[in-house]
């Protein structure tokens, strides 16, 4: 191996190692990436994202490695002279056209599969109409006669007021909490029908991997299925600038077990609980209501 070839390889290796250094040296590197999420779709979207990402990394390493090697190996100080004889090569043009096309096709296949899955709202077990309005959400559980508003929690609303005397830092989940969260069961395909009453809003929960606009006079659909065992609270926000109090329009989803959901739904129908309650204990009335529940509607 010639000296300038060794120098070129060293420079390329240094460039590659330099680009990968943040991966090893930054403890919070994962926070810069999109979250994996807790739904079937969020995992599929993340897997697609990482596939495309590593394809781009490989292409970048190849292209910049070749550039660095060319700059070092064919520098003028080493006596390199430009080749003025080759001004056209059909073979080279075919190669650098076919290779990118093949790469794009390889990327397009899983991307198309994921896009089709995102729009597939068949066989949903629960359908909820979500209406955005300045500056709250309205949830309507279709076929269940359960509906309610979800607004910024009182503690956050008070803390945001000038002159309230409340320190926002003392409020837990400041601007990310609501009075009545959306309640859904785990391991269940849920469809949201999104619209708006006044201006365009956007319903977004990062952990679900989905964001969709709510547009007046139009209905958009999205679906999610939370993994079994991932119960808890998941927070998001309106992601479309919708006026003065846009920043005070959070989204909170409470994920419960299927049994807890049926109990909560029965309590809502019987008027024995508030929307934010998802008790795991059955009263006699609630137990009777649960037994009388029909099968969940399919969208």
Kindly report each contact of residues 82-90 with a partner whose C-beta sits within 8 Å and lies 24 or more positions away, as own/partner: none
Strands (E), 113-262: 126-133, 136-141, 146-150, 182-185, 189-196, 201-205, 210-214, 220-225, 232-238, 250-256
219's tokens: 């209905």
Provide the pLDDT for residue 227.
94
Please say whether the beta carbons of 193 and 221 come within 8 A. yes
The CATH homologous superfamily to which domain 126-291 belongs is Cupredoxins -  blue copper proteins (2.60.40.420)
44's tokens: 């599929």
Provide the pLDDT for residue 31.
75
218's tokens: 């139009």
Residues (pLDDT < 50) of the chain are 8, 21-27, 279-299
Among residues 263, 261, 265, 255, the alpha carbon closest in space to that of 282 is found at 263
What does the domain layout of the chain look like in residue ranges?
Answer: 3-77+89-119, 126-291
Residue 290 to residues 15, 121, 278, 296: CA-CA distances in angstroms? Answer: 64, 26, 14, 12
Provide the pLDDT for residue 299.
39
Provide the pLDDT for residue 276.
61
């Amino acid at each position: 191996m010639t000296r300038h070839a060794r120098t070129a390889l060293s420079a390329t290796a240094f460039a590659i190692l330099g680009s990968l250094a943040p991966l090893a040296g930054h403890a919070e590197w994962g926070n810069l990436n999109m979250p994996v999420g807790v739904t079937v779709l969020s995992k599929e979207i993340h897997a697609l994202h990482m596939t495309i990402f590593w394809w781009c990394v490989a292409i970048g390493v190849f292209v910049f490695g070749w550039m660095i090697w060319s700059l070092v190996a064919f520098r003028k100080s080493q006596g390199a002279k430009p080749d003025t004889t080759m001004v056209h090569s059909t073979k080279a043009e075919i190669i650098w056209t076919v290779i990118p096309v093949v790469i794009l096709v390889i990327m397009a296949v899983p991307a198309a599969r994921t896009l089709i899955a995102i729009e597939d709202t068949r066989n949903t077990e629960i359908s909820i109409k979500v209406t955005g309005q300045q500056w709250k959400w309205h949830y309507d559980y279709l076929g269940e006669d359960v509906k309610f508003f979800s607004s910024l929690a009182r503690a956050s609303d008070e803390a945001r007021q000038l002159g309230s005397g409340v320190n926002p830092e003392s409020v837990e989940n400041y601007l990310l909490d609501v009075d009545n969260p959306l309640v859904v069961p785990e391991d269940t395909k849920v469809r949201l029908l999104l619209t708006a009453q006044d201006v365009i809003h956007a319903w977004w929960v990062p952990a679900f991997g989905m964001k969709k606009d709510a547009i007046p006079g139009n209905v958009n659909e999205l679906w999610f299925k939370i993994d079994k065992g991932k119960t808890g609270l998941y927070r998001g926000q309106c992601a479309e600038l919708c006026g003065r109090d846009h920043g005070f329009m959070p989204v909170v989803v409470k994920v419960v077990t299927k049994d807890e959901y049926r109990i909560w739904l029965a309590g809502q129908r019987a008027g024995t609980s508030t929307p934010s309650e998802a008790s795991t204990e059955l009263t006699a009335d609630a137990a009777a209501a649960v037994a009388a529940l029909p099968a969940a509607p399919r969208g």
